[in-house]
């Protein structure tokens, strides 16, 4: 049997008529830049997430750069960011001349350790970028307390967090809608994934929204009048047409992911050679990725690949050890929790159309490896 790590082809086959109609309607009306498909998607996302303003942009990475620029995460400002995350959570501020100040992670949830963040505050700290990784939100109550106490701007990297919820002061909120701004990625593998690159910026602050909107089109709100040096980063209209179809059944897709995660848990949780991320009680999880922390991880990954099973490692190297950040002067041992997780973590196949037989095949293969 071959079990792909991810594929969109089964989804396309299941919803072919709706996708074809939506994409062909864009071809027919010929308005390829912004327009009604993008606006419909933005409004539907704002409603789904429970946030005032949503703005479609070209990718999650672009959303992070654009928001960092507007929030002033630039020119020598220090910004707290986890060392264990996707590169774009940090490159966004580094490229604008800000100094990324890395933070270790919480061993149980794999999210930012906010106590560690607090220890790294200085008079130059301007902001914080909590990242909601894999299946659950970072501890946003704690992040917001810290931000209020020290006057920090909060940019939530919710690239992986579409549909995740978390409790802040007793109230359930969508991850990404709690800080000053939040960004989402619609990279194809994501819980709400496009058929290409796409992203979203959200905020409850009208002034920020107006600035984000302007930054999306070269810093201009009236054509050829430039108030800022902005970007060209619009959500592609074709992607909006695809995402409009997918948003219609995203809750069912999330529910299928939960069924698969339960199946993996039931089959794997008694294996002594594995550990699993723990979910905080104040989080409602969404399985963008199903991770295990495995003994002899690299050998296990090889074994699974030889059996035709697609696996992935998010993330093999923490950011403080990346060559491009060597100027920050970190060395191995500086962030021990992140370094250990990088050597143990392994992501198993996870997408809504996965079958129970495929999951059993993956679990049989893991069991046989440790026998």
At 66, is the secondary structure helix, strand, or coil?
Answer: helix
- Token look-up 């994934």 returns 193
Give the range of 3-11, 153-161, 209-217, 351-359 binding ligand PLP by CB under 6 A.
Answer: 153-161
Q: How many CA atoms lie within 13 A of 262 on its CB side?
A: 7
Cis peptide before 43 (omega within 30 of 0): no
Treating both helix axes as pointing N-terminal to C-terminal, what angle do 237-247 and 16-29 enclose, rounded to 10 degrees?
Answer: 150
Is residue 185 part of the contact set for ligand PLP (CB under 6 A)? yes
The footprint of ligand PLP on this chain (CB under 6 A) covers a number of residues equal to 15
**φ and ψ at 78, to 5 degrees?**
-95, 140
Q: Binding pattern to ligand PLP, positions 89-128, x when CB under 6 A?
A: x---------------------------------------
Is residue 291 part of the contact set for ligand PLP (CB under 6 A)? no
Q: How far is the CB of 155 from ligand PLP (least distance, A)?
A: 11
Give the range of 17-25, 80-88, 97-105, 212-220 binding ligand PLP by CB under 6 A.
Answer: 80-88
Is residue 159 part of the contact set for ligand PLP (CB under 6 A)? yes
- Token look-up 């989804």 returns 11
Is residue 160 part of the contact set for ligand PLP (CB under 6 A)? yes
Q: How far is the CB of 337 from ligand PLP (least distance, A)?
A: 18
Q: What is the DSSP string of 226-276?
A: -SS---B---BHHHHHHHHHHHTTHHHHHHHHHHHHHHHHHHHTT-TTEE-
Q: Which two tokens stand for residue 112?
A: 């930012």
Q: How far is the CB of 160 from ligand PLP (least distance, A)?
A: 5
Distance CA 18, CA 310 (A): 29
Adjacency order of strands within the sheet including 290-294: 274-275, 290-294, 345-348
Number of alpha helices (DSSP H) and beta strands (DSSP E) in the chain? 13, 13
Is residue 77 part of the contact set for ligand PLP (CB under 6 A)? no
Q: How far is the CB of 341 from ligand PLP (least distance, A)?
A: 15
Tell which one of 199, 230, 318, 349 touches ligand PLP (CB under 6 A). Answer: 199
Q: How far is the CB of 332 from ligand PLP (least distance, A)?
A: 23
Give the range of 9-17, 59-67, 138-146, 243-251 binding ligand PLP by CB under 6 A.
Answer: 59-67
Adjacency order of strands within the sheet including 181-185: 53-57, 199-203, 181-185, 153-157, 125-128, 78-82, 99-103
Q: How far is the CB of 178 from ligand PLP (least distance, A)?
A: 16
Is residue 86 part of the contact set for ligand PLP (CB under 6 A)? yes
Q: How far is the CB of 64 from ligand PLP (least distance, A)?
A: 6
* Interface contacts to ligand PLP, rule CB under 6 A: 59-61, 85-86, 88-89, 131, 157, 159-160, 185, 187, 197, 199
């Amino acid at each position: 049997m071959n079990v792909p790590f991810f594929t969109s082809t089964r989804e396309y086959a299941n919803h072919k008529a709706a996708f074809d109609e939506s994409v062909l309607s864009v071809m027919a009306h010929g308005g390829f830049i912004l327009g009604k498909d993008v606006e419909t998607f933005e409004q539907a996302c704002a409603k789904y997430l429970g946030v005032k303003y949503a703005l479609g942009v070209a990718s999650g990475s672009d959303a992070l750069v654009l928001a960092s620029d507007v929030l002033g995460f630039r020119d020598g400002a220090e910004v707290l960011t986890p060392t264990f995350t996707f590169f774009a959570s940090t490159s966004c501020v580094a490229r604008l001349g800000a100094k990324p100040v890395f933070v270790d992670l919480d061993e149980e949830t794999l999210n930012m350790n906010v106590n560690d963040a607090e220890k790294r505050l200085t008079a130059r700290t301007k902001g914080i970028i909590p990242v909601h990784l894999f299946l659950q939100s970072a501890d946003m109550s704690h992040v917001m307390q810290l931000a209020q106490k020290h006057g920090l701007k909060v940019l939530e990297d919710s690239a992986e967090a579409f549909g995740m919820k978390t409790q802040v002061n007793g109230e359930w909120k969508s991850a990404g809608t709690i800080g000053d701004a939040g960004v989402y990625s619609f990279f194809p593998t994501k819980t709400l994934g496009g058929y290409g690159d796409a992203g979203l910026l959200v905020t409850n602050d009208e002034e920020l929204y107006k600035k984000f909107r302007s930054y999306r089109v070269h810093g201009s709100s009236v054509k050829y009048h430039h108030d800022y040096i902005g970007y060209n980063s619009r959500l592609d209209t074709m992607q909006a047409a695809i995402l409009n179809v997918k948003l219609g059944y995203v809750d069912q897709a999330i529910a299928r992911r939960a069924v698969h995660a339960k199946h993996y848990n039931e089959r794997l949780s008694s294996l002594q050679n594995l550990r699993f991320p723990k979910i905080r009680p104040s989080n409602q999880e969404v399985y963008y990725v199903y991770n295990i922390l495995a003994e002899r991880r690299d050998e296990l990954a090889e074994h699974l690949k030889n059996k035709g099973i697609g696996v992935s490692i998010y993330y093999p190297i923490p950011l403080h050890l990346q060559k491009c950040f060597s100027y920050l002067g970190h060395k191995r041992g500086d962030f021990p929790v992140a370094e250990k997780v990088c050597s143990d973590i392994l992501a198993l196949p996870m997408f809504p159309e996965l079958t129970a037989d495929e999951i059993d095949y993956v679990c049989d293969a893991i069991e046989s490896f440790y026998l």
